[in-house]
Homo-oligomer: A and B are copies of this chain.
Amino acid sequence: MFQKVLIAEDQNSIHKGLENILKDLKIKEIATAQYCDDALLKIKASLNTANPIELLITDLSFKEDHRDRTLTSGQELIRAVMDVQPELKIIVFSVEHRIGKIKKLIEVSKVDAYVEKGREESREMIKAVRAVLKDEIYYSHNLAQLIRSADDISQTDIYDELLLQLLAKGLKRNQIASYFEEKDLPARSLRSIEKRINKLKVLFDANTSEQLVAIAIDRGII
């Protein structure tokens, strides 16, 4: 079993529960952090010791407060951690259920497991830790099917994503075209922008561009 584990999570009510689970799994040392920056510091520090941290369990969203932060989310923490300790195992533990975000974590950030917060979280966390120990990828029960059915999202590329973001930010069609022009992106003409929006409307079954933005937000694409 893992010797040393770090929990990055700002909800202190969760710490106790999580620690109990890990203790039952015979994990010797459990460190905690309430801020992403602290988590990164602890990981860096432990690298030069006899027993470095072997597993990071992290939430995705961390509340803002008075403290200045450089890392503001689990995603950023994960990216930073990969730089200093690429072999570190990572389990994401979050309420995030939007399949777009989760797919990105697994495919882009290469996290080892995703456990959704909810009724089965304790059981799922145990399974996840055991799976990760065996170098397996694990995502909680109800997610497996969702990920397969979310191919529509994979069909949206980074330009679609940018386009949706610009729409949500209040740019008009021709302003978006100008933006694409400036940034030297492909398919920058007004007509191409229009066609791209239309393609997305068909893909997400949206009647209007307002609904398209609502769906994109709901699915966690933007």
Chain A residues in contact with chain B, CB under 8 A? 10-18, 20-21, 34, 61, 63, 65, 95, 97, 116-119, 121-122, 142, 167-172, 206-214, 217-218
Q: How far apart are the CA atoms of A18 and B16 in the complex, in Å?
A: 10
Oligomeric state, in copies: 2
Q: Contact at A16–B20, with CB atoms within 8 Å?
A: yes
A163 CB → nearest B CB, Å: 11
Q: Contact at A208–B172, with CB atoms within 8 Å?
A: yes
| 20 A-B contacts (beta carbon < 8 Å) | A10-B118, A12-B122, A13-B13, A13-B14, A13-B17, A14-B14, A15-B17, A16-B17, A17-B17, A63-B116, A63-B118, A63-B119, A65-B118, A65-B142, A170-B208, A210-B210, A210-B212, A210-B213, A214-B217, A217-B218
Q: How far apart are the CA atoms of A222 and B65 in the complex, in Å?
A: 26
Q: Contact at A171–B208, with CB atoms within 8 Å?
A: yes
Q: Contact at B17–A172, with CB atoms within 8 Å?
A: no
Q: Contact at B12–A172, with CB atoms within 8 Å?
A: no
Q: How far apart are the CA atoms of A61 and B97 in the complex, in Å?
A: 12
Smallest CB gap from A208: residue in B: B170
Q: Which of B18, B170, B207 contacts A171 (CB 8 A)?
A: B207
Smallest CB gap from A206: residue in B: B170
A136 CB → nearest B CB, Å: 23
Q: How far apart are the CA atoms of A209 and B55 in the complex, in Å?
A: 45
| 3 closest residue pairs by CB, A with B | A13-B17, A170-B211, A170-B207
Q: Which of B63, B122, B142, B210 contacts A209 (CB 8 A)?
A: B210
Q: How far apart are the CA atoms of A13 and B20 in the complex, in Å?
A: 9
Residues of B within 8 Å of A121, CB to CB, are 11-13
